[in-house]
Structure 1
Amino acid sequence: MELPQQPPPRQPEGCLTVAIRIPVRIVVLVLVVPVRMIWDVLAAAARALHLTILRPTGRALKWLGHTLIVVPLTFLGHCLSWLFRMLVVVPVTFLGHCLSWLLRTLVVTPLTWLWRWLVVPVWRYGVVAPVAWLYRYVLTPVGHGIAWVAAGVAAGLVWIASGAWAGLSWVAAGLGAGLAWVARGIGVGLAWVARGIGVVVSAIGTALVRVGLILFVVPVGWFYRHVLTPIGHAVAVVVREVAAAFGHAWRIAGHLSRAVGRGLKWLGWQLVGRPVRWVWRTVCAPVLRWVRDTVWAPVKRAAVEAGRAVGAALGTAGRTAREALASARDTVRQARADAWRALVGGPPREPAPHPARTLGSTTTASGAVPAPEISLHKTEG
């Protein structure tokens, strides 16, 4: 179990802090109370304006815009989409299928046959085979001979270059040793001269640093320690007390403002709120309820029925269009099969069997001869 932390002990305050605190807090309280009252009044007015006018107006405008703009535009968009699909997409799709079949039948298939049985054999036996024979039996032996001659010439050149490199290396070693001895002597002399110059410069720099310390740093440090530091402490105390006074005054003014606000709220409720609530409950609510039950409900039901009727009509039109598209697809498929059979040959297409007459059907297959009706008496006889 953790023990509660004790607040840190308060530091002893000086006489300057105690002498400044009370007058400053009194003056700040007198100045802050009107400002806090005006601020609370403006905040309450803004909240009331938001809750009573701005939010209901925004919701009403939102509902009105959705009802008068969004819903009609959505319905119009659905209608335009259906019309575009029926008048543009379906014909373009049908035309695309036809063009694709024509392209595949008249272009792709002949080109594929030409590539497989003409271009590939000519390339393989007319170009690739002669070039491979020439490379294997002519170019390869010639290349081996040229490579052998080049290897001999390269070996001779390497031997000559190694001898010349050995002579040059011996001469360069002698010259390097002489130059190194001369450079070492020059470096020793320059180091001795630089050491002397460094000693002189160090002495002059030390003297200048001590003079600057005596003439500038010591007076500035004394002025900062004995003049600026006390003034800064005093200004910090005054600023801290003024800030604390503003905080206390703002909190006290807040308590006063809330007390005044509660009193005004009670008075407004007694003078305005109770009468308005009584008028709403006894007059407005029954009238609005009657309007809702006798006017708005029938209008809403009529609108819903009209929407359902329009939806059913659109569904029927879409179903009819889909059936027409399916019939067109079947026609195109049969025409493509007939064209392919006419081009490449094949067994004749058997006609599709017509649906026979059943017990629960009233239709008869076209071209079928009706069976003779035989009565029970003739069968028995």
Structure 2
Amino acid sequence: MDMQKQPQRAPQTQPQQPEGCLVVAIRIPVRVFVFLVVLPLRLLWEGLAAVARFLWRHLVVHVARLLWRYVLAPAGRAVAWLLHVLLVVPLTWLYRHLLTPLGHALVWFHARVLTPAGRALLRLLAPVARAVAWVFEQLATALYWTVRVLLVLPAAALWRWILAPAGRVLAVIGREILDALGHAWRVAGHVARAVGRVLGTLFRWILLEPARLLYRTVLTPVGHVVRDLVLRPAAQAARAVGRAVRQARADLRRALFGEPARPPAAGGREPAGRDTRTLDE
């Protein structure tokens, strides 16, 4: 036994047929035109797809889940119960008590009555049937040749010499258009993604980065300076003016109405004055 492995032969690939001049002449203009038409459509499609994904994720799926859980599922169970009660049960009873006995009766009638009668008629009508069959065969032969001469042969010539070449040309054009559409759609997708990245980068560098730099380098220091030199001294001055106003109002009240009466001292202390009581009294 030969234990050495035989070298495997590489599969032979059929050489590709060279493309004709018609294919080369059609492909490049068709692809350029289709790309110019498909590019804005692809950009619009990407935008609509992003909006649709957002709406689908946040609206349609949640609403559909609630609709299925609280409306469609209970309604489906109710409809299934009604169909079972109104259709399945009556049809089951009808099949069991009416159709089955009727079918047995028809089988018996066919086996006992129709089959013997058919055999008797076949013995009487066999010569007539053969004569009718011969006549129909002759008519069918004449009709076949008539149709073949008047319709089939002209149709075959029309297909072979006119429709088939035109179909091949149209197939080449259609295939090139489909290839151009697919190529243009893919290229437009790359262009759309590149445009999106460029617009995002421009938005970040034109608006976000200058705004962040302005806030960090200008507004924050200016805010600190305004807080330390203007707002904080103004707040302190306002508090000092408030205290002065309250003190002036208290001084004016004391000047007009005198000192307010103090409440008597609480606790175990003796009252002061003339009415002081002693232990001797």
Which category of TM-score, normalised to the shorter sequence, fits these structures?
0.3 to 0.5
TM-score for the superposition, normalised by structure 2: 0.42
Asked which structure has the greater CA Rg, the reply is 1
TM-score for the superposition, normalised by structure 1: 0.32
